[in-house]
Amino acid sequence: MATGKLQAKLHDGNTMDIEVHGQGPTVLLAVNPTPAEGERAEEMRKWGMDPALGRSLIDGLSGSYRVVAFDYEGHVLGVPKPGTLTPDAIAADLLAVADAAGAGRFAYYGYSWLALSGLQLAIRTDRLSALVMGGFPPVAGPYAEMLAVTMATYELAAAPPAAPAAPAGTQAGDGQEGGGEYDWSSVEMTLSEEQTRQFVTMYEALQGFDDRAVRLDCPRLCFAGSADVIPYGERWGGVTVDIAGAFARHRAEMESLGWDVEVLDGLDHTGAMQPANVLPVLVPWLRRVLPADA
């Protein structure tokens, strides 16, 4: 199978770089494999974030698995898809990554909107050997709330330049990276109209999605921090995105549907995505459901 640095051709004809590390069963990681440097790295450390988040996850898995890493979020921010970033297109893009890496079957890990992307992939293919969703519930997902947040972000991005909008460093699909640590009343515009519109397109397409009706066959794990709750002011849609509450209220239902569920005590949305907290959950679980010698 292919190794090293490759490219995948996506649904809009653009290409995305991917990196392949290690040997064993294939695991797709929707992460940026290139560590941040300089001022950007220092800023991330200030907010409790690992500047080498993607690389740390790759290193933690590549000893036992063939890791296919790709910065899908970075790609869609760099090459926005305002009218086409639908669940169908996202699933097609993820399959294009697997195809470029020569992976017939593969596990998938994504966090936040990249986790819900994995769920959309799972219901459109039979090629998944395992699915891991971090920072987004597989049952009772906050699709309506996220549409409100992303619509508000889009409207601010389309407003005159003086209008405030999503702060630098947020995950564009949800505005949650950084959790409650950001002062939402004083942030400055960093995302364009096209960048924000594509996530409105995605969440609009998910408004009729019934996650309780999903039935999957592959092993699957979901996790989130117990403090992953973000209230947004009126300027941001006036909603609360309560990931932790969904896990608390619906854990038994998730487990009855075949999900392994982990709640990381005391961690918010940012904390629960850091490699030091993800790898102790992810690695043992993968070793159990997807042995390295499989």
Phi, psi of 162 (to 5 degrees): -75, -15
pLDDT greater at residue 165 or residue 205: 205
Q: How far is CA 39 from the centre of its chain?
A: 24
Cα(263)–Cα(248) distance, rounded to whole angstroms?
A: 9
For 124-169, what is each residue's pLDDT tens digit?
999 999 999 999 999 999 999 999 999 999 999 998 665 444 543 3
Tokens for 170?
A: 């947020």
Percent of residues, the chain, with pLDDT higher than 90: 80
pLDDT at 44: 86
Residue 3's pLDDT is what? 65
Q: Per-residue pLDDT tens for 235-283?
A: 888 999 999 999 999 999 999 999 999 999 999 999 999 999 999 999 9
Q: What is the mean pLDDT of residues 75-84?
A: 97
Residue 94 amino acid letter = L
Lowest mean pLDDT among 7-21, 58-72, 167-181: 167-181
Give the pLDDT confidence score for residue 293 in this predicted structure.
77
Instruction: Please report how the helices 193-205 and 143-157 are oriented relative to each other, as an axis angle in degrees rounded to 10.
Output: 160
pLDDT at 100 over 50: yes
Q: Is the pLDDT of residue 215 over 50?
A: yes
**Percent of the chain whose pLDDT exceeds 70:** 88
pLDDT in tens, 112-127: 999 999 999 999 999 9
In this prediction, residues 161-189 reach a mean pLDDT of 45
Q: Is the pLDDT of residue 90 over 90?
A: yes
Average pLDDT score over residue span 43-72: 94
